Amino acid sequence: MPHARAATEVVIEIRDYRFVPDRVTVKRGTVVRWVNQEKRTTHSVRFLGPQGFESERFFPGESWQRRFDQTGAYPYSCGPHPEMRGHVEVIE
């Protein structure tokens, strides 16, 4: 089964209205998980551009994840806090 490989997971924390780290480069097939580490603020992950969409808002202690199966650049923001910016680069 040459295509069977365990998905790698990368964690991005959200704290003090920032994505930490705010830039990651991952291999195709990686699962990126955003974990809300705030005390009381909800956040979302909102992908920019024509293919963009927004996750549900998630509370402190909750997380949201997305698997990236296509290479490319994925700039994102936070729905309620557009000043929050992050970037996922997906490589082969």
Q: Are strands 46-47 and 72-77 parallel, antiparallel or unpaired?
A: antiparallel
CB of 75 vs Cu ion, minimal distance in Å: 15
CB of 80 to Cu ion, least distance (A): 5
Cis peptide before 21 (omega within 30 of 0): yes
* Nearest-approach distance from CB 23 to Cu ion, in angstroms: 17
Measured from the CB atom, the residue of 24 and 42 that comes closer to Cu ion is 42
Contacts with Cu ion, residue ranges (CB under 5 A) = 43, 78, 81, 84
Nearer to Cu ion, 30 or 43 (CB): 43
Closest separation in Å from C-beta 88 to Cu ion:
16
**Complex with Cu ion: residue 66 or 81, whichever CB lies closer:** 81
Residue with Cβ nearer Cu ion (27 or 81): 81
Asked if 71 and 92 touch (Cβ cutoff 8 Å), the reply is yes
* 8 Å CB contact between 61 and 72: no
CB 11 within 8 A of CB 33: yes
Nearest to 72 by CA among 43, 45, 54, 52: 52
